[in-house]
Amino acid sequence: MVYIPEGEFLSRIGPTEFFKDLEKYGTPNAVQEWQKLLDAILPMSAAAMALPPLSIRGDFGVLSTAAARYAPSLLKYFVQMGPQGALGATKLLRPFSEVMDSLELKDPFIRNWVDLLSFLLAGVKTNGILSAEMVYMFAEWYKPGSCLEYPLHGTGAVVDALVQGMKKFGGRLSLGSHVEKIVIENDRASGVKLRSGQFVRAKKAVISNASMWDTLKLLPKEVVPKSYLDRVNTTPQCESFMHLHLGFDAEGIREDLGIHHIVVNDWERGVDADQNVVLISIPSVLSPDLAPPGKHVLHAYLPGTEPFGLWEGLDRRSTEYKHLKAERSEKLTGGTLVSRNKDYIVFYRGNDYFPPVVTEALKERKKLTDLQQNVEEQAREMASASIVSKAKASKGPLVAGTLAETIAATSHWGNQPSSEDVQKMIKDSVLTRHALLVKYLQNKLSIAKGRLKRAENALAKVQEYLEPADIPTDLETITDEERLLFRKMGLSMKPYLHLGRRGVYAGVIENMHLHWKYRELVKIIVRGTRLEQVKHIAISLEAESGGVLVSLDKTNKGYAIIVYRGKNYRQPQALRPKNLLTRRQALARSIELQRHEALKHHISDLQERMELVKSELVDLRNGKEIDDSKTLYSRLDDHNVSDDDIEEAFLKEDTAIVQLVLFDDQIGCFIYLLFTSFETHLFGSRFG
């Protein structure tokens, strides 16, 4: 299915079906122009089909890769095509746009469609692709009786077949073998050297399927010709690809879902514009074994149009990277990323989303409405033409807009207020507005304090299960030399424990004992926490585990805590201490702590805002001039707190007041949680 700005259509293989789409979306001459294009290029397809696609190139090297080897077959096809076809075949090595220009094709839809086909085939528009490639594709795509085949079990089956064929003829596939460099001996590539130090000798040559830029890095600089080096350095690289892989429930999905979908948002921007073309593939439609029963797998991607400069240098674990990924993926999903975790990703479809059935019904309704309006307009015009105006001119004097009308209105409605009255009314309005804002903030503050009290009670309830151990008085000591040695060994260890948002709980101590079963030291990594908190965590780990704290260091992964099990260590019978919280209780404590801190910050912010409004109110009552653009009220207006919000808070019932303030309070609490969480992505999945 193809989705374009003009509408949508099912792109089928063969020439006849596409003529119907041309009649719908093209100009009146679109069908004739398309037939003209087919008549011109299909005779050239014989020459294009005589050459394998890999032998076609756009420089003089084609003489060695194609002409010399396949000259007999080319000559045979030239004779069959005749003089006119042979003359046209000379254009095969020219850009395909020149062929279209020579045929004087003007239809915008045809030009855009061929640009799209060229871009999907080679990553460039018609002015950058060889005519031979497009002619080859047209001959297969629009040939009568042709069909599109799909490999069973997906494209992975093609790869498996290629590997099987390679092994059949004595080949060997080595995975995970990083090539460090290509070895040159006696002016020829004799093999490759792997990162592991192994040398693989080539019998004839080394074939690199890497890009020219990556291949250049593997070659010694002194053996690369300057002409080739200049060509590589001046060759522009295409933009990056952005992929999205999803699994979704097949229940309720229509049966004619289709495997391939193409979306073009705007023809005027060009098919190679940033995030303008999206390709979607659902291979499980034809190969159900690619997904679990009752499910589908989806692959959506931007074909070489994603600017890599936006992503370059970003840490994949950073919040900035996650926000950018959520923002840039909206074009692939058509919705907004709400939350994600290891099991699910949630997208919001938007307020203006309609199912296809509703969309079609709205389109039909609009057509009927337009038709009815046209009929009514024609009837109205006919009726107007048949009616003779019988209106008589007024014999009396006209007073509209005259001084007499002004005097009469003034005597009836009274005099207009003076400038002093207007200023007084404005001042009274400002005072009333600030007074209402003070009451509004007071209500918010009282509700926030109530929520803080409930949060403190919930936190105290969770803390009842925690009985932290005291630091033992007979703690084992180690010398400075041992501490230095243990610190060096611990920092170099690859295995480590990650201490997350739950903090120190029974499961952490259990994992420490399991580590001590095989090694003397354990390394715990703590991320996103202040140094004072990490020190407290280190002391708690030492006291609860019975080990010896060796060091606390700042590393690129976070803070590293090294704990020594001790010289006389014996594994306890119960690895999980009974005095600590369970995993679930520790998570509840973490949430309550963050809620408590968020509410404290929110209450402090409300108090500051209320004091500021009160001071502004006092200044206004004392007659002091205040710039309206710098008052707290004007700043709240910028954040969608309008007069209606404040007035509704006091003109409606008390229940409405509580609901309004509580809703705004929750927003402030959630926003603060998102920015103060030690692990932001967990709260992102919970609150969006």
Condensed to tens digits (0 to 9), the pLDDT of residues 507-534 reads: 898 989 888 988 899 999 998 778 888 8
Give the span between the Cα atoms of 471 and 233, in whole angstroms: 64
Determine the 3-state secondary structure of 246 from DSSP: strand
SS (H, E, C) 622-683: CCCCCCHHHCHHHHHHHCCCCHHHHHHHHHCCHHHHHHHHHHHHHHHHHHHHHHHCCCHHHH
Condensed to tens digits (0 to 9), the pLDDT of residues 62-109 reads: 545 555 555 555 555 555 555 555 445 567 777 888 888 888 888 999
What's the pLDDT score for residue 308? 83
Condensed to tens digits (0 to 9), the pLDDT of residues 307-356 reads: 888 888 888 888 888 888 878 877 777 776 666 665 666 766 666 666 66
Percent pLDDT > 70 in the chain is: 74
Q: Which DSSP string corresponds to 372-404?
A: HHHHHHHHHHHHHHHPPP------SPP-TTSHH
Give the span between the Cα atoms of 47 and 51, in whole angstroms: 7
Other CB atoms within a 10 A radius of the CB of residue 356 amount to 9
Q: How far is CA 271 from the centre of its chain?
A: 20
Q: Please provide the distance, in angstroms rounded to a whole number, between the alpha carbons at the two ends of the chain.
A: 32
With cut-offs at 50, 70 and 90, classify the pLDDT of residue 661: very low
List % helix, strand, coil for the chain (3-state, nearest 5): 55, 15, 35
With cut-offs at 50, 70 and 90, classify the pLDDT of residue 656: very low
- Residues paired with 526 in a beta bridge: 499, 559
Token pair listed for 649: 């808070």
pLDDT(560) > 90: yes
* Tokens 């990083």 sit on residue: 178
Percent pLDDT > 90 in the chain is: 8
Token pair listed for 12: 């089928």
With cut-offs at 50, 70 and 90, classify the pLDDT of residue 165: very high
Q: Where does 168-236 show beta strands of DSSP type E?
A: 179-185, 188-194, 199-201
Give the span between the Cα atoms of 114 and 271, in whole angstroms: 10
Other CB atoms within a 10 A radius of the CB of residue 406 amount to 11
pLDDT(676) > 60: no
Contact 581, 465 (CB under 8 A): yes
Determine the 3-state secondary structure of 268 from DSSP: coil
pLDDT(649) > 80: no
Over residues 367-395, mean pLDDT: 71
With cut-offs at 50, 70 and 90, classify the pLDDT of residue 681: very low
Determine the 3-state secondary structure of 516 from DSSP: helix
Contact 120, 133 (CB under 8 A): no
Determine the 3-state secondary structure of 414 from DSSP: coil
β pairing state of 497-499 and 345-348 = unpaired
Give the span between the Cα atoms of 398 and 396, in whole angstroms: 7
Instruction: Please list, residue by residue across 630-643, b when 16 or more beta carbons sit within 10 angstroms of its beta carbon and e when fewer do.
Output: ebbbeebeeeeeee
Average pLDDT of every residue of the chain: 77
Give the span between the Cα atoms of 522 and 542, in whole angstroms: 11
Least confident of 365-369, 436-440, 630-634, 675-679: 675-679
Contact 434, 616 (CB under 8 A): yes
Over residues 492-511, mean pLDDT: 88
Predicted structure pTM score:
0.47
Condensed to tens digits (0 to 9), the pLDDT of residues 420-475 reads: 777 788 878 888 887 888 888 888 888 988 888 888 888 888 888 777 777 666 66
